[in-house]
C-alpha cells in the first residue's frame, strides 16, 4: 500500500490531531443517533496482543464491527511468532491478508520492526514507551467536557510511564499545560520529554516535571493518574508501592487542584493504591466516560489510518 501511515507515537498525529478529535466527535454523534457509518466495509484488522487487555481489545474489535469491518484477535500463543517466527516475516505475511495491524506489545522496538516490514498501516495499541490511542481518546474526552484544550492544565501524578510519555507529547501538540509529578528515578522518558518541550514552543504550552505531587496538582483542570506497577514490572511491586505512597490521588491532593477539576485514570485502577475509592467514584471523576471514549476515538483512528477518512 503506497504511502501507508502508521500510528506508533503521538508524533505521528502531530499535524492532524485536532482533525482526528473532530472526527471522533462526529463518529460518536452518529453512533449515538443510530446512524450507520461503515467506511471499513469488507476490511480486516489483525490485532496482536502480547499483553492482557480489556479496553483496547473490546474497543478495537467492536469499533471495527461498527465501521463495517472485521477484527481478528491474535495472541502470541496462537501465532508462529510465539514459536520463533520473526516479527519481519509475521508483518510481511499478515500484510497479504489484512488491511491493518494493531499491535499491543511489551517492547517499542518490536512495534517499530513490525511497522518497518508491514505494507499495511500499523497501530500501536501500547508498548513500553508510548500509548498513543489512549491519549487521543483522553484529549477527546477533555475537549468534550471542557469545550477546549488549549490553556488548560493537566497534572499527571505517579509513574513516568508510557501513558505519561504520550500525554506529554499530546498536551504539547494541542497547547495544554502539563506538569508531571513523579518520584526521582521514575520520571518520563528524557528524549520524549525533550521532544514534548520542543512541540510546546509553537503551541504555547508549558511542560514541567516535578517531584512534589502537591505542586504538580496545584490549580490543575485535570488530575490524571495510572497504575504504579505496569505489566512486566511485577517484581518491583513492593518497592514501587512503598515509594509511590505519597503520590496517591486522594481528596487531599484533589483539594490542590481547581474546584471543578476532573479526575482521569486510564484503567485498570488499583483502588486504594494510586487512587482512592471516594475520588474515582466521586463527582469529579470522568473515568468511565474516558473508557467509553476509547471506542469512539479508536473508530476515528481506524477510519483515518485504514480508509483515509
CATH number of the domain encompassing residue 59? 3.40.50.1370
C-alpha torsion angle, residues 38, 12, 87, 129 (rounded to 10) = -120
Query: What tens digit of pLDDT does each residue of 76-119 get?
Result: 887 777 678 999 999 999 999 999 999 999 999 999 999 999 99
Task: Reply yes or no on whether 134 is catalytic.
Answer: yes
Q: State the residue range of the domain holding 76.
A: 10-131+294-307
Residue located via cell numbers 513490525: 114
Residue 238 is assigned to a structural domain of this protein: yes
- Options 66, 134, 284, 290, the catalytic residue: 134
Task: Reply yes or no on whether 270 is catalytic.
Answer: no
- Options 11, 43, 55, 104, the catalytic residue: 104
* pLDDT category of residue 1 using cuts at 50, 70 and 90: very low
Same domain, 252 and 270: yes
Q: Which residues, 6+ apart, have CB-to-CB distance to 56 below 8 Å?
A: 49, 102, 104, 125, 126, 133, 294
Same domain, 92 and 237: no
Same domain, 179 and 77: no
Helical (H) or strand (E) element with 123: strand 122-126
Task: Reply yes or no on whether 198 is catalytic.
Answer: no
Residue 5 is assigned to a structural domain of this protein: no
Residue 45 is assigned to a structural domain of this protein: yes
Same domain, 277 and 150: yes
Same domain, 146 and 33: no
Task: Reply yes or no on whether 294 is catalytic.
Answer: yes
What is the residue-averaged pLDDT of the chain? 96
Same domain, 104 and 216: no
Q: Where are the alpha helices (DSSP H) in the chain?
A: 17-32, 55-66, 87-97, 108-117, 132-146, 162-174, 190-203, 213-217, 237-243, 251-254, 277-280, 287-307
Task: Reply yes or no on whether 298 is catalytic.
Answer: no
Task: Reply yes or no on whether 104 is catalytic.
Answer: yes
Residue 202 is assigned to a structural domain of this protein: yes
Query: What tens digit of pLDDT does each residue of 230-258 get?
Result: 878 889 999 999 999 999 999 999 999 99
Same domain, 107 and 139: no
The tally of domains found in the chain comes to: 2
Same domain, 61 and 173: no
Question: What's the pTM value of the predicted model, to 2 decimals?
Answer: 0.96
Amino acid at each position: 500500500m503506497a504511502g501507508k501511515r502508521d500510528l506508533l507515537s503521538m508524533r505521528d498525529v502531530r499535524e492532524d490531531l485536532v482533525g482526528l478529535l473532530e472526527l471522533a466527535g462526529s463518529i460518536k454523534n452518529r453512533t449515538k443517533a443510530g446512524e450507520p457509518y461503515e467506511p471499513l466495509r469488507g476490511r480486516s484488522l489483525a490485532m496482536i496482543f502480547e499483553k492482557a487487555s480489556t479496553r483496547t481489545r473490546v474497543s478495537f474489535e467492536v469499533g471495527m464491527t461498527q465501521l463495517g469491518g472485521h477484527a481478528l484477535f491474535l495472541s502470541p500463543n496462537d501465532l508462529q511468532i510465539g514459536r520463533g517466527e520473526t516479527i519481519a516475516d509475521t508483518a510481511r505475511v499478515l500484510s497479504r491478508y489484512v488491511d491493518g495491524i494493531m499491535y499491543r506489545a511489551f517492547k517499542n522496538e518490536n512495534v517499530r520492526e513490525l511497522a518497518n516490514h508491514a505494507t499495511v498501516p500499523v497501530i500501536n495499541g501500547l508498548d513500553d514507551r508510548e500509548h498513543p490511542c489512549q491519549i487521543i481518546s483522553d484529549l477527546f474526552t477533555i475537549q468534550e467536557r471542557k469545550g477546549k484544550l488549549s490553556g488548560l492544565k493537566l497534572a499527571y501524578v505517579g509513574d513516568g510511564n508510557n501513558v505519561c510519555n504520550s500525554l506529554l507529547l499530546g498536551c504539547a501538540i494541542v497547547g495544554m499545560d502539563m506538569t508531571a509529578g513523579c518520584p526521582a528515578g521514575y520520571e518520563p522518558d528524557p528524549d520524549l520529554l525533550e521532544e514534548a518541550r520542543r512541540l510546546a514552543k509553537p503551541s504555547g504550552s508549558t511542560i514541567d516535571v516535578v517531584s512534589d505531587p502537591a505542586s504538580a496538582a496545584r490549580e490543575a483542570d485535570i488530575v490524571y493518574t495510572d497504575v504504579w506497577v505496569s505489566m512486566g514490572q511485577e517484581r518491583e511491586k513492593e518497592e514501587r508501592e512503598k515509594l509511590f505512597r505519597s503520590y496517591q490521588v486522594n481528596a487531599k491532593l484533589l483539594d490542590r487542584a481547581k474546584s471543578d477539576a476532573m479526575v482521569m485514570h486510564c484503567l485498570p485502577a488499583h483502588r486504594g493504591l494510586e487512587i482512592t475509592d471516594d475520588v474515582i467514584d466521586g463527582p469529579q471523576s470522568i473515568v468511565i466516560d474516558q473508557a467509553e471514549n476509547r471506542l469512539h476515538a479508536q473508530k476515528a483512528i481506524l477510519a483515518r489510518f485504514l480508509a483515509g477518512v
